[in-house]
Amino acid sequence: MKVLVAVKRVVDYNVKVRVKSDGSGIDTAGVKMSMNPFDEIAVEEAVRLKEKGAATEIVAVSCGVAACGETLRTAMAIGADRGVLVESEVELQPLAVAKLLKAVVEKEGAQLVILGKQAIDDDSNQTGQMLAALLGWSQATFASKVELDGTQAKVTREVDGGLETIAVKLPAVITTDLRLNEPRYVTLPNIMKAKKKPIDTLKPEELGVDVSPRLKTLKVAEPPKRGAGVKVPDVGTLVARLKTEAKVI
Amino acid sequence: MTALVIAEHDNQVLKPSTLNTIAAALLCDPQVHVLVAGQNCAAVAQAAAQAAGVGKVLCADAPQLAAGLAEASAAQVLALAPSYSHILAPATAFGKNIAPRVAALLDVAQVSDIIHVQSPDTFDRPIYAGNAIATVQSSDKVLVITVRTTGFDPVAATGGTAEVSSVDAVADAGLSSLVGRETTKSERPELTAAKIIVSGGRGLGSKENFEAVMTPLADKLGAAMGASRAAVDAGYAPNDWQVGQTGKIVAPQLYVAVGISGAIQHLAGMKDSKVIVAINKDEEAPIFGVADYGLVADLFTAVPEMVKQL
């Protein structure tokens, strides 16, 4: 079974982002970029499926600027076999990415797509569900455990109030939650090996997809600042102030 | 036109998240309908009909809708979509699973996790873990939206007198089925609806300590219990207690952070709380940057002392 993993290049999760002073967006100049952490979990899961013999080939796909090629190299260093870069200078919104991924899935004949449940930049949490819808496939979102069983996947999902296990017919789209696995560290030999793995570059036009943004960002602003309050010297003072000043207990 | 709210429920009880979503829907359009899709869910439909501001409740009752699975639920919403200008769901695990599927099938963008309605086509939503707020405008013919519940005060649960009408359930495509659920049974208030939350972090050191220190405090305050990602990853607390960017977003009257350093991903989930208390022995911990009341102390002595004094 061919598995496709989608990986997004995002501002590294350790970076404290800054809003541009003109309110047009986030300042990404000179900022460290990395693979979206949830997508790293997706790649790891695919590699584990291959190691177990359940997957035959892992194709990593990234949509965006040319630098997304670096993200594909990271995916291949974790263990993906090859990469597909859908290169576009246009801001790609989730619906456009889902359409691009659909085209690649059909071109590749993949039977399973694994991707992060959300990207930590726009926090949309949409692409996997949209892709499943466009393909007419089943979906298993927020996965914390995946078992493949012939024609179906049994997936445990993190939901409000606990865990839920569902059975989805293959082909399917799975989106990963934090506790699905812990991605391996990439080793230097694997980074070197990844450099030799092939990357195909495609354009949205070649895939017949209109990627024009549907949502217009009018402005990006700093959230209201929450000022630091006071330090209290002891528990007695804390309890007293919660009762008489904040009046919350 | 009219706005349609997808009700979250368990076939018996209407979840409070639906009431916050109705509030957001009313800001988009004064006409709001609610879809209750489930099985043997008449009681839920009756509850939805009593929610303030609801004009009509549509009830789809069929076995394939019982578990709220994405494929069947989205197909049901899609069948009704042509009559609506806005389709809204709570930005909970339930709503986030279904809404994008609906949006894609309508070939429209989804606006995720809105916290403010500027106008019926323009919304504020947090990005980068809440470190920035984007104002976005949609030009699509139908707006599919998920609603951050902490951004909108719920409408009153009673007082409404909407009619309930049955709608035909859409045939089952048989793509997915529910195997089972392990829900955390708790007498405590639900995390996202609690007035007080006590939340523990890596500073607790172990699952046993987490229980021994945090439970008495939660009991004394009648609070829900939360945790940081670090504490959940370390196995101190169950995963559905996680507060943060990728966990639950909460905004209680009082949030007590114990042994939590305050990573930006955690702050993203709780910084809209009315009053924040932080107890941490590291006075440089970032959590003190958002806390109204900070106590630099060893949590293992401070928390039991606090329980005694409450």
pLDDT of the residue at B179: 97
Task: Determine whether the interchain pair B277/A214 forms a contact, defined as Cβ–Cβ distance below 8 Å.
Answer: no
Mutate to test the interface with B, among A27, A38, A95 (most CBs of B within 10 A): A95
User: Does ipTM surpass 0.90 in this model?
Assistant: yes
The terminus-to-terminus CA distance of chain A in angstroms comes to 58
pTM: 0.94
Model confidence over A16-75: pLDDT tens digits? 899 999 999 999 999 999 999 999 999 999 999 999 999 999 999 999 999 999 999 999
What rounded mean pLDDT belongs to chain B?
96
From CA A180, how far away is CA A143, in angstroms rounded?
Answer: 6
pLDDT of the residue at B186: 79
Same domain, B161 and B246: no
Q: Kindly tell me if the per-residue pLDDT of B184 is higher than 80.
A: no
What rounded mean pLDDT belongs to chain A?
96
Q: Kindly tell me if the per-residue pLDDT of B101 is higher than 80.
A: yes
From CA B115, how far away is CA B137, in angstroms rounded?
Answer: 14
Q: Give B55's pLDDT tier (boundaries 50, 70, 90).
A: very high
Tokens of B35: 């879809």
Q: Give A143's pLDDT tier (boundaries 50, 70, 90).
A: very high
Model confidence over B195-214: pLDDT tens digits? 999 999 999 999 999 999 99
Same domain, B136 and B16: yes
pLDDT of the residue at B12: 97
Model confidence over B279-297: pLDDT tens digits? 999 999 999 999 999 999 9
Same domain, B156 and B29: yes
Q: Where a domain ends, among B120, B145, B166?
A: B166
Same domain, B162 and B26: yes
Contacts of A217 in chain B (CB under 8 A): 134-136
Same domain, B130 and B17: yes
Task: Determine whether the interchain pair B100/A94 forms a contact, defined as Cβ–Cβ distance below 8 Å.
Answer: yes
Contacts of B132 in chain A (CB under 8 A): 17, 19, 26, 220-223
Residue type at A237 in one-letter notation: T
Q: Give A207's pLDDT tier (boundaries 50, 70, 90).
A: very high
Model confidence over B56-82: pLDDT tens digits? 999 999 999 999 999 999 999 999 999
Same domain, B265 and B160: no
Annotated binding residues of B for FAD: 202, 228-229, 242-246, 259-266, 280
Q: Does some domain include residue B181?
A: no
Task: Determine whether the interchain pair B136/A217 forms a contact, defined as Cβ–Cβ distance below 8 Å.
Answer: yes
pLDDT of the residue at A150: 85
For chain A, what are the domain ranges?
2-245
Q: Which of A223-227, B109-113, B178-182, B220-224 has the lowest mean pLDDT?
A: A223-227
Are the CB atoms for A72 and A48 separated by under 8 Å?
A: no
Q: Kindly tell me if the per-residue pLDDT of A98 is higher than 90.
A: yes
Model confidence over B218-268: pLDDT tens digits? 999 999 999 999 999 999 999 999 999 888 999 999 999 999 999 999 999
Q: Which DSSP state fits A52?
A: T
Query: DSSP labels for A177-214?
Result: -GGG--PPPPPHHHHHHHHHS-EEEE-TTTTT-----S
Q: Kindly tell me if the per-residue pLDDT of B185 is higher than 80.
A: no
Cβ neighbour number for residue B180 with a 10 Å cutoff: 9
What stretches of A98-194 adopt beta strand conformation (E)? 112-116, 138-149, 152-159, 162-169, 172-176
Name residues 117-176 of chain B within 8 A of A (Cβ). Answer: 122, 126-140, 174-176
Q: What is the CATH number of the domain that holds B203?
A: 3.40.50.1220
Task: For residue A65, give Cα distances in angstroms to A87, A110, A139, B159.
Answer: 5, 24, 28, 53
Same domain, B140 and B202: no
From CA B249, how far away is CA B227, in angstroms rounded?
Answer: 12
Fold of A2-245: Rossmann fold (3.40.50)
Model confidence over A165-205: pLDDT tens digits? 999 999 999 999 999 999 999 999 999 999 999 999 999 99
Contacts of A211 in chain B (CB under 8 A): none
Q: Kindly tell me if the per-residue pLDDT of A225 is higher than 90.
A: no
Task: Determine whether the interchain pair A248/B253 forms a contact, defined as Cβ–Cβ distance below 8 Å.
Answer: yes
Cβ neighbour number for residue A140 with a 10 Å cutoff: 28
pLDDT of the residue at B44: 98
**Which residue segment(s) compose the domain that B304 sits in?**
196-309
Tokens of B284: 């440089």
pLDDT of the residue at B192: 86
Contacts of A177 in chain B (CB under 8 A): 246
Q: Which of A108-112, A158-162, A236-240 has the lowest mean pLDDT?
A: A158-162
Are the CB atoms for B26 and B155 separated by under 8 Å?
A: yes
Task: Determine whether the interchain pair A215/B265 forms a contact, defined as Cβ–Cβ distance below 8 Å.
Answer: no
Same domain, B152 and B12: yes
Give how many domains chain B has, as a whole number: 2
Same domain, B149 and B223: no
Q: Where a domain ends, among B166, B186, B206?
A: B166
Task: Determine whether the interchain pair A169/B112 forms a contact, defined as Cβ–Cβ distance below 8 Å.
Answer: no
Cβ neighbour number for residue B198 with a 10 Å cutoff: 30
Handedness of CA B216, B222, B228, B229 (dihedral sign): positive
Q: What is the mean pLDDT of residues A93-107?
A: 98
Burial of B158 (0-12, 13-18, 19+ CB in 10 A): exposed
